[in-house]
Chains A and B, each alone.
Chain A
Amino acid sequence: MTGRPLYVGIDLGTTNSAVAVFDGETTQVIRNAQGSTLTPSVVRIDGKGRVTVGAAARRFLERDPENTRSEFKRLMGTERALPFAASGRSLRPPELAAAVLGALRADVLDQVGLLPDAAVISVPALFELPQSAATSEAAKLAGFGKVELLPEPIASALAAGWTAEQGDGRWLVYDLGGGTFDVSLLETDGGFLRVVGHDGDNFLGGRDFDWAIVDWALAEIAREHGVTIRRDDPTHGAAIAQLKHAAEDAKVGLSRAGQVVLTLAAPLEIPGAAPFDPELALDRAVLEGLISPLVDRSLDVCRRLLQEHGTSADQLARIVFVGGPTVTPMLRERVGHTLGAAVAEGLDPMTLVAQGAAIHAASTALDGRPAGPLVRRGARLWLQFPAVCTDLSPHVIGRVVDAGQGPMPSNVRLVRGDGGFTSEVATLDDDRAFVAAVELVARHANVFEIVAEDAAGVRVAVDPPSVTIVQGMTIGDPPLSRSIGVALVSDHVQVYFERGTPLPARRSFTHATVESVARGAAEAVLKIPIVQGEHDRAHLCRLVGTLEIPGHAIGKTLPAGSDIELTIELDRGGRMSAKALVPALDQMFEHVAHLLVPAADPEVLAASLAALRQRVDDLRAEAFRRGMPHIIGALEHAEHDLGDVSRDLGAATGGNDDAGQRARRTLLEIDAALDEVEQSKQWPELEQRVVRTLTWAGGQVGHLGTERERALFEDVAKAIDRARAERNVRELQRQLRLANQLGETAWYRDPDTWPALFDEASSRVDAASDLPRAQALVREGKAARARDDGAELRRITEKLWRLLPHDPTARRASYDSGVR
């Protein structure tokens, strides 16, 4: 390899993509054939099967939507393939993304003269494993040999930090894209960058600005031309698309000019009205009025994030804007003003992410140059040093792997190119290795010559002869965006990797099986579900893979309680692998059924919507009955969200996958909120139960209990008091059960009890599994009662109970987990 290194960073955006290269000192954003730094993430396949990408394809988005696809990034990780009607092909999201990445790769070749083999690709901060894996797959399909993924906010921060003067403090990266909003809180401390937290809204973006303008235009048209155009009327679809396009142009135009006119490519055609051309003038003031509710929504998210991390406005050093819509002057001003922090100027919001990704490629030494022929010059060294480094005095570690023909070096020192520094002489140890501390000049590429001498003090040639270390901001290893763990049978999650864990990572835990799996049993299978998310309840997290141990694959019966040593591994590209070692079987299981993001099936969603509605209704009824006003508010909130879901569901049924995904996520959120509500009312309920149980059971035991039972009851009552003092829910429930049991035992002794129980059981006799037998028992029971034979009546009632259905066991929510 010769010349300067080539570090490539790619921002694979929902709307636009960009690529930048970094040579160790400066970044350069690559222009495409059209001379633009932005390549729209749009792919078109025409009737002849020709694939076009970028601006050329984008032009067809309105005209030929059947053969032109955009926004496929939102479908990454799903199994949905998008059809191209004319060519008859249909491509999965990674294949579409690969087309865009391929085009960017070709642009680098055009501009730099090298076809890169490695790159860093940025992904949204909250991408989950299946989505990351799909992105890695896209890169492979586009011909990249090595890729690494980097969260977008970190990329932005790196790029911003690279150019900015050193200044410690917290800062906010505000990334508003075409359809998503991400905000991240970062912190620099002595030049070291750290991600403090993320938040965002997956359904807020420039697109919503466009729709706000369209709605305004529709109102204006109705007012001026008396023509009513409706967004939900399919016959108005073409006109709406035209308006939307014009709205976007107007919005972009207003970022530069104070006033623009909404210009349409052709006059609007509405069924039942003459074609007309509404010349609508839009100025900044109107636009501000239209988008300010949307900006406020984003500000709420920012405030939530700041509050969560205890950062007050005056602690915030600056704000970095990323994404097309943040070019809007009013938005910058308003966000900056509201959050009370300086706005970092001089950064290109559209390409910042790509630049940061390129810088990151340098710090992980992901050189994009294709491997060249190897030239040997002297003793070969295996060197370890940071290519980019924040620390001003890092270490260079090396080992002689092959002395070649020449003499063996015995000591080494490093001399900085500017002559201002020479390291101490490091002697090679028994491993023929050395460690040398060097000192860097800040914000420069530092070249160090490696001076090696043999035992006699004669200089020895080494290969490589020098190392280059760039001083600047780095982030180290890419952090994991969401926690990953294993769902346990108790619906808890055993966290393997917490959010922020540096990748790659590997961890092992030992679990125990809860049920025996018989050898060869076809239907018996032990499942180990792997989930991702921040909830401590497994069913609220996303299932990202399942490791299965099927009965047919095991050598002998696997008894309940057997150990399973599970190891999960994540690589830097977000790919997960897992293996389970079962010592009892002396077998290893590695096959993980990787899951895609489940397609949002409207029917399934409708069912869970109905179920949640029911739950809200039940809770509210209960809240009113028991006078618990504090939960009514939460329920109203949930109710409101359910309304949103049902609207999205309508859109999803009409084929809008994105709305379906949003509905799915909102449903999960509501589920979590209701869980919380239930938990908050659990304690008062329990307290009431304590009083009831103690009175009733205490009465029974005192009246009919034996000496022993009375003593036991006293103990239980004490334990109940203690659990109450500790506010320990589970313990309290257990002790209450015990108290009840004691009460019942005593109560059964009461001669009046069994007739009542018998009556209750015989009233349910229709549900019995064996009706004739049950009826016979009822007859016998009646006879026994007539005889006043208490013991017999009890025997009969108990028999009757056995024939009646018992409560179905609670459903297992935790993805059928078979481990604890």
Chain B
Amino acid sequence: MSAVDRWGDNPFFVLDLPVTATRAEVERAGQKWLGMLEVGMSRAAIYTTPLGVRARTPELVRAAMAELRDPERRIGHELWHLEHEPPSTLDAEDDADAEGPEPEPAALRILGWSRP
């Protein structure tokens, strides 16, 4: 599992709960999301994290509930809770110049190394 997934799957994000949520609130939120996903309500389908928007699935919700039931695991997840910020856009712009200035797309073609 990648670092992005580890954080993105944080139960507090998946269930959309604050870290102070009680056990009952966790169960209630889980039950609500599962029901909404089951009947196919579109507003249940995604959730936001500091790393961007992710898809909410019944498996994720169930796993999130189980994680928060266990105090040992819950405390670990609490430490990764972060009030949402709009995910930064800086990556998009610096990917663009990754390969340096102005490529010559025709190079292989001119030499006859490409499909017609």
- Whether A26 is near chain B, meaning CB under 8 Å from some CB there, is no
Interface string of B16-54 (1 = CB under 8 A from A): 000000111001100110111011111100000000000
- Whether A479 is near chain B, meaning CB under 8 Å from some CB there, is yes
Q: How many residues on the A side are at the interface (Cβ–Cβ under 8 A)?
A: 34
Q: A473 to nearest B CB, angstroms?
A: 12
Instruction: Tell me, in angstroms, the Cα distance from A777 to B2 when the chains sit together.
Output: 56
Instruction: Verify A390–B36 contact, CB threshold 8 A.
Output: no
A residues less than 8 Å from B65 (CB atoms): 476, 502
A residues less than 8 Å from B69 (CB atoms): 192, 194
Q: A612 to nearest B CB, angstroms?
A: 35
- Whether A505 is near chain B, meaning CB under 8 Å from some CB there, is yes
Interface string of B53-93 (1 = CB under 8 A from A): 00000010011011001100000000000000000000000
Instruction: Verify A502–B66 contact, CB threshold 8 A.
Output: yes
The one of A389, A392, A394, A399 that contacts B39, using a Cβ cutoff of 8 Å: A399
Instruction: Verify B31–A502 contact, CB threshold 8 A.
Output: no
- Whether B1 is near chain A, meaning CB under 8 Å from some CB there, is yes
Instruction: Verify A397–B70 contact, CB threshold 8 A.
Output: no
Instruction: Tell me, in angstroms, the Cα distance from A433 to B43 when the chains sit together.
Output: 11
B residues less than 8 Å from A501 (CB atoms): 63, 66
Question: A430 — nearest CB in chain B belongs to which residue?
Answer: B42
Instruction: Verify B28–A509 contact, CB threshold 8 A.
Output: no
The one of A384, A396, A502 that contacts B38, using a Cβ cutoff of 8 Å: A384
- Whether A429 is near chain B, meaning CB under 8 Å from some CB there, is yes
Interface string of A124-147 (1 = CB under 8 A from B): 000000000000000000000000
- Whether A201 is near chain B, meaning CB under 8 Å from some CB there, is no
Q: A393 to nearest B CB, angstroms?
A: 7
Question: A393 — nearest CB in chain B belongs to which residue?
Answer: B28
The one of B1, B27, B62 that contacts A192, using a Cβ cutoff of 8 Å: B27
B residues less than 8 Å from A477 (CB atoms): 62, 66
Q: How many residues on the B side are at the interface (Cβ–Cβ under 8 A)?
A: 24
B residues less than 8 Å from A472 (CB atoms): none
- Whether A190 is near chain B, meaning CB under 8 Å from some CB there, is yes
B residues less than 8 Å from A395 (CB atoms): 28, 31-32, 35
Question: A389 — nearest CB in chain B belongs to which residue?
Answer: B31
Question: B58 — nearest CB in chain A belongs to which residue?
Answer: A504
Instruction: Tell me, in angstroms, the Cα distance from A192 to B70 when the chains sit together.
Output: 12
- For chain A residues 673-723, which have a beta carbon within 8 Å of chain B? none
Known: A192-B69, A430-B42, A500-B70. A435 touches B36 (CB 8 A): yes
- Whether A421 is near chain B, meaning CB under 8 Å from some CB there, is no
- For chain A residues 369-391, which have a beta carbon within 8 Å of chain B? 382, 384-386, 389-391
Instruction: Verify B39–A506 contact, CB threshold 8 A.
Output: no
B residues less than 8 Å from A398 (CB atoms): 39
Instruction: Tell me, in angstroms, the Cα distance from A399 to B62 when the chains sit together.
Output: 21
Question: B25 — nearest CB in chain A belongs to which residue?
Answer: A391
Instruction: Verify A391–B66 contact, CB threshold 8 A.
Output: no
Instruction: Verify B36–A505 contact, CB threshold 8 A.
Output: no
The one of B28, B40, B66 that contacts A394, using a Cβ cutoff of 8 Å: B28
Majority secondary structure of chain B interface residues (helix, strand, loop or mixed): helix
Known: A194-B69, A391-B28. A502 touches B63 (CB 8 A): yes
Instruction: Verify B63–A384 contact, CB threshold 8 A.
Output: no
Q: B1 to nearest A CB, angstroms?
A: 7
A residues less than 8 Å from B43 (CB atoms): 429
- Whether A189 is near chain B, meaning CB under 8 Å from some CB there, is yes
The one of A190, A392, A397 that contacts B35, using a Cβ cutoff of 8 Å: A397
B residues less than 8 Å from A479 (CB atoms): 66
- Whether A224 is near chain B, meaning CB under 8 Å from some CB there, is no
Q: B61 to nearest A CB, angstroms?
A: 10
A residues less than 8 Å from B66 (CB atoms): 476-477, 479, 500-502
Instruction: Tell me, in angstroms, the Cα distance from A385 to B43 when the chains sit together.
Output: 18
- Whether A431 is near chain B, meaning CB under 8 Å from some CB there, is yes
Interface string of A392-408 (1 = CB under 8 A from B): 11111111000000000
The one of A385, A394, A433 that contacts B41, using a Cβ cutoff of 8 Å: A433
Instruction: Verify A397–B59 contact, CB threshold 8 A.
Output: no
Question: B59 — nearest CB in chain A belongs to which residue?
Answer: A506
Known: A194-B70, A502-B66. A189 touches B23 (CB 8 A): yes
Q: A400 to nearest B CB, angstroms?
A: 10
Instruction: Verify A391–B41 contact, CB threshold 8 A.
Output: no
B residues less than 8 Å from A392 (CB atoms): 24
A residues less than 8 Å from B39 (CB atoms): 382, 384, 397-399, 431, 433
Instruction: Verify A394–B31 contact, CB threshold 8 A.
Output: yes
Interface string of A429-467 (1 = CB under 8 A from B): 111010100000000000000000000000000000000
- What 10 A-B pairs come out closest when comparing CB atoms? A384-B35, A397-B35, A399-B39, A395-B32, A502-B66, A433-B41, A384-B38, A502-B62, A391-B28, A431-B41
Knowing that A395-B32, A500-B70 touch, tell me 12 more A-B residue pairs with CB under 8 angstroms.
A189-B23, A192-B69, A389-B31, A395-B35, A396-B35, A399-B41, A430-B42, A431-B39, A435-B36, A476-B27, A476-B65, A501-B63
**CB-defined A-B contacts under 8 Å, sample of 20:** A190-B23, A194-B69, A391-B31, A392-B24, A393-B28, A394-B32, A396-B35, A397-B32, A397-B41, A399-B39, A399-B40, A429-B43, A430-B42, A433-B40, A435-B32, A476-B66, A501-B66, A502-B65, A504-B59, A505-B59
